[in-house]
A and B are shown apart, each in its own frame.
Chain A
């Protein structure tokens, strides 16, 4: 009897060794057969029960060594009593290190690691609690976002409704005005055509066209110069001598000479921006100097920039008519054409008719030229029509925008099925990293703004949520990532772009910015829009599953 008593605990110990590293749901499979054998879990082989957890790999699937690490790729289950259980890869078993997620130390030889599950569990629970607290607060804010979206929806619907009504009214007004304008124009069209044959007018139009073309080309070159300047500035400050390219150095020096900048070597990159601020003033004064040399009648660069557009917006037809009035001036039309103003209102219509007949008769006789007094009326009615049309278009645009916004509000690919993102449209988050401030306006544009002056680069415009095909649209990983692309192109590199990684937080913040590859930025931030309300089931069962998954 005594030996039986002695044997029992030994057997119990043996059983514990055999199931070391076995997860609870598989414990039942780790029992010997009657003939004291055991079958690999994949059924590939029958081995003596002794071989289980004997620190030598026998099964192809590794299932005979759940607790020793002898088989590669065989997960080790760490019970972590007092905390949550978790799986370790076999590479962590008996490697001499105490794993944070195997707080009971069961993965190591006895005596290597203390059981710290009480402490770890406490810390973990506290962390989960804190996270839940954040999520709770965040989800409250999130619900205000959703409420906002609904309010916004109503507002937009209101906008659409009122716009529709206004459109109806405005459309009628346009029809009426168009009728008037067309009527008066049809009268004057022939006359106007004749006037437009004037060599002066033709020349004016030609000049105007030429000037417009010149302005277009000029702008193109200004833009191009600016871009080249940006490229060269970036080259100068970011000049990467790895290319070990004297051509690059030559280009930098050439640019510095043209732009009047000191050599980058002499100022150092940090002080570049300050230097440049000074330089800009210098060049400004240089420009002022050159301005003085320009003839009085000639336009300055500033005037060209500011006033040329106004000049080119001149309504040449009106000008033509005004010109005619000015040239033919008062005596010719004074009596005849102004008679109407002396007539009582009741006779006026008849007078107009009579006048038209008389005038055409006189014209036919060649006594007076086919000038009509209605030319100014024509341009006025045309102006009224244009104004009305513009108003109509504006309202239509407002309606269209509202309709589009409405479509996006509850779009899974837009502001989310619940509209939780609508509130953040245009919200700009900023953070300072090194010499730059990084800004992302959600659903807008991301930018890199130098703190000490210099040009701001676009890092891209909002393109999509997480585009990975593995991600299901609408879930947290989908909304956890935004892509901004097609920013300013890097010198000798790609267009800048941003991956914005978001997680649940009580505030909308931008926390970090890293340029992991050249011109590819990774932003991380938080937003309440990602704080979904806690399920009752979460925080208990969910944790266990997650803890396991994280490690495998």
Chain B
């Protein structure tokens, strides 16, 4: 048998196919997962029973208690299936109208995991103080909200919870009666039942009858209650069944978004109902899926259990704070309604209902719960050059030299796992990296940074201090026995994993990144503050584990099983690493730590990327959708690997991928070790020059990106915004996920993701003028929506400026973004149909937290028509007007326009102002303070015209106005 197996394997090795494909058999389908199977079977029985189906869960009216502040009610819940089991229901209404619904088993045999929300939430939410609960005979209800138009209703028998607005149901929990919290039981009782059944026929009959009484709901068999096998692995399930099934319906919303991470459309396809798009539910279970599919409900590296339900009338959301494996079925019973069914393996029910009613408010509500993206280091918005692997310090230097020779901007060089001796992270392989500090300094000399990988698997050898210290401290994840160290296989061979749920691991891990010697053990003295970190493989990825991850019965701090915390695991590692990078310097600096695995709240920590994508057009296209989906789930600092991780993209594909990349919040090129080198300087002409221009375009737009990040950090509004976020009432835009807007800037992008395209069709959603960013061609949208065809040759990426926008850019090419600090700005004033425009610019030192002390510049540019035939362009200080809204998490009481940062850049001027769409040649262009300005006017169509064509362009040459100062220019 052995030899047969070996030859089989050999044959497979020798005939390695060129076709890349996911290894589906490594991952479970719903039918291979016991609790998912049970959940779907429950839904199928309900479907069959139709109207005769009624949830067995009910509220004991006598148990209802209202908290003194009125915001919280508690009640006992029973299931008619198991009258002896007690459940506790709790509803809390937050002061922003979010309703939190909790359900847990009370006094059970064991305790359900209830800490998921505590990891996800940024702080304990503030509860409302103005709620009046009306406790009735059949239901209890409360009305709240600014207009008092939101209602929450809890029906007693059967239990269901409804969130209503304007008298219509928006979100319904258990409306379809699929709620089922499997209570804890002991396996022995089940055996006794069996024994009874076999011993005495009469009583056995009775027992069977009792079971049949529940069978209408639970089914006949105890399917995978106590043990579950998958491939060669056995999950021991010592706690038995504990899954949670919950249906969440949106009776008035026909589109749902969110629950990343999946390689699929932004508007989520159906998984059940009539001719579903996918046969399996969407799965949330952080896994390292090798060569994942470009369209699939399969789980990927990260999970954020948040969903938007959207209609032209309003938007609502749910955040289901669960950390265990979760499957979500979606169906659309009608065009205007959505059913979802969430099946989780363990944990309490802890669902947040976000009342909206606009996408903007959903973002704010979700941001108040889980926080926003930390304002990143400015340099991290530049171009990141990565490869598995730059093989030596000289290799890194050569790559840097080549970028400089080709005058291509780049901010960061990355090192993948091969820098580390035997994959013992932190430990440089001195044979190839003899001088890591000198290398880093050489990179830093041009204002650049290094990002070096530190993965969570620790090689189990005593000569690896990081492992040895963790082992001595007993902070490693334990095997199912609860004793010793869990051992798995990863890059480093036999490895163990730090249990970041153990508070004892936190300070220890943080100390490892100190760049100076410490008394308490190893610290990374062979690194500098210019080294930032990449956390990969933190799902965790374990090559010989079930589904390439950790066995679910492994034990974490507090005795929790890995199954309870799996989806949260990666976030904690990421968080502790970011804390470490933040505090290693005397003056804390903003850390950049990239993660592959993430959970709700990970946005507070840093950036993510969409993992190991393939160099195919499909993956290029789905990468955009995935970044959009992450953005609406809060994880805004996102990007896909440019070029695709696997494969050798042809030059055309690479060019298109760079065009996608520069319009991603996180912009990194990366490649697998088996691929040919593909750094942009290696390409032939014309590709090389096209990519140089693309890179320069990204750098020129960095002020726009950074300004969008500030907004996100305060409001939670995504960096890249899909149509439904910008135009919530435009039904034609609900399914659009291949074009998007950048922040509030007014930039609309439609990257080309198909081979040999020379033209693109762009959807313009409103009756407004849109200008081609490069040609100034004015296109006219329509209030009904309109598609326009635009040229998209290889060197062209369709980029538009929405009429009414003012864009600040920096047009001088530099080697890296820090070198642009004192460069002047260009303003593009794209007049709206009404002849007005507005834009923002946010700047700070981009490195430290001094912005939290008000060391920042936040300006508003406005173009208006104070009188006929006159346009006035002015610059105002936004920070002084809105000090409390300037910075995330800090309410500045006052703002000093002469702060230290503003002084550093006080000489920075606006070198050029371009006004698009003026209706006629000006007679004069002057500073309001009097001085005449030099200008040129090229006639063209006006913003207010109806026809299309090249817009009129007024170029004001060097108005010598400062970017930190108030000024106004009058065009008459």
Interface residues of A (CB under 8 A from B): 54-56, 58, 69-70, 72-73, 89-92, 94-97, 228, 231, 235, 240-251, 254-255, 257-258, 264-265, 268-269, 433-434, 491-493, 512, 514-518
Contacts and interface: CB of A to CB of B under 8 A. Distances in A.
Contacts of A91: 407, 409, 812-815
A216 B391 CA distance: 43
Contacts of A240: 673
Interface in B821-852: 821-822, 824
Interface string B422-445: 100000000110000000000001
A217 B110 CA distance: 68
A338 B815 CA distance: 102
A155 B912 CA distance: 76
B10 interface: yes
Contacts of B822: 94, 96
Given A251-B13, A514-B392, A246 B815 contact: no
Given A247-B9, A247-B12, A254-B9, 5 more contacts: A72-B812, A91-B813, A241-B489, A241-B491, A492-B16
B958 A251 contact: no
A434 B812 contact: no
B579 interface: no
A255 B6 contact: yes
B821 A254 contact: no
A450 B623 CA distance: 43
Given A254-B2, A434-B431, A516-B391, A244 B543 contact: yes
A251 B911 contact: no
Contacts of B422: 268-269
Contacts of A235: 13
Contacts of B811: 72
Top 9 closest A-B pairs, CB basis? Answer: A254-B6, A56-B958, A95-B819, A251-B9, A434-B431, A91-B813, A241-B543, A89-B407, A247-B9
Contact of B814 (A95, A251, A268): A95
B819 A97 contact: yes
A229 to B, nearest CB: 12
Contacts of A254: 2-3, 5-6, 9
Report the contact-size class of chain B (Cβ under 8 Å from the partner).
Answer: 35 or more
Nearest to A253: B6
Contacts of B431: 433-434
A265 B815 contact: no
Contact of A516 (B677, B819, B911, B957): B677
B728 to A, nearest CB: 40
Contact of A492 (B395, B674, B677): B674
Interface in B1-54: 2-3, 5-6, 9-10, 12-13, 16, 23, 26
Contacts of B548: 244
Contacts of A516: 391, 395, 677
A244 B958 contact: no
B172 to A, nearest CB: 42
Interface of B: 2-3, 5-6, 9-10, 12-13, 16, 23, 26, 288, 290, 391-392, 394-395, 407, 409, 422, 431-432, 445-447, 461, 489-491, 493-494, 541, 543-544, 548, 672-677, 696, 811-815, 819-822, 824, 911-912, 957-958
Interface centre among A54, A69, A246, A268 (most CB of B within 10 A): A246
B232 to A, nearest CB: 8
Contacts of A58: 957
Point out which of B12, B13, B548, B821 has the most chain A C-beta atoms below 10 A from its C-beta.
Answer: B13
Contacts of B9: 247-248, 250-251, 254
Contacts of A491: 13
A244 B290 contact: yes
Contacts of B696: 72
A70 to B, nearest CB: 7
A8 B701 CA distance: 44
Contacts of B541: 244
25 contacts: A55-B911, A56-B911, A70-B812, A72-B812, A90-B812, A90-B813, A94-B822, A97-B446, A97-B819, A247-B13, A248-B13, A249-B489, A250-B5, A254-B3, A255-B6, A258-B3, A264-B493, A268-B422, A268-B493, A491-B13, A492-B16, A514-B391, A514-B394, A516-B677, A517-B675
Contact of A72 (B445, B544, B813): B813
B407 A69 contact: no
A121 B907 CA distance: 34
Contacts of A492: 13, 16, 674
Contacts of B958: 54-56
A265 B819 contact: no
Nearest to B460: A265
Contact of A251 (B6, B290, B490): B6
A251 B957 contact: no
Contacts of A94: 822
A244 B545 CA distance: 10
Nearest to A269: B422
Question: Which of A70, A255, A264: most chain B Cβ within 10 A?
Answer: A70
Nearest to B392: A514
A234 to B, nearest CB: 11
B493 A265 contact: yes
Nearest to B676: A517
A136 B281 CA distance: 75
Contacts of A228: 10
Most buried by A among B394, B461, B674, B676: B674
B253 to A, nearest CB: 39
A47 to B, nearest CB: 10
A115 to B, nearest CB: 20
Contacts of A244: 26, 288, 290, 541, 543, 548
A228 B14 CA distance: 10
A194 B288 CA distance: 78
A54 to B, nearest CB: 7
Name, among A56, A58, A249, A515, the residue most crowded by chain B CB atoms within 10 Å (CB to CB): A56
B656 to A, nearest CB: 23
A217 B446 CA distance: 63
Contacts of A70: 812, 911
Contacts of A257: 2
A492 B13 CA distance: 8
Given A246-B544, A251-B10, A254-B9, A92 B815 contact: yes
A434 B696 CA distance: 39
A136 to B, nearest CB: 28
Nearest to A89: B407
B234 to A, nearest CB: 16
A515 B395 CA distance: 10
Given A517-B677, A518-B674, A258 B6 contact: yes
Contact of A518 (B544, B673, B912): B673
Of B26, B445, B491, B543, chain A has the most CB atoms within 10 Å of the CB of B543
Contacts of B26: 244
Nearest to A95: B819
A154 B822 CA distance: 70
Contacts of A493: 674
A250 B391 CA distance: 29
Nearest to A50: B934
Contacts of B673: 240, 242, 518
A40 to B, nearest CB: 14
A51 B24 CA distance: 65
A95 B490 CA distance: 44
Contacts of B813: 72-73, 90-91
A434 B431 CA distance: 6
A88 to B, nearest CB: 10
A95 B677 CA distance: 30
A98 to B, nearest CB: 10
Contacts of A243: 290
Contacts of B911: 55-56, 70
Contacts of B10: 228, 251
A249 B819 contact: no
Contacts of A245: 23, 290
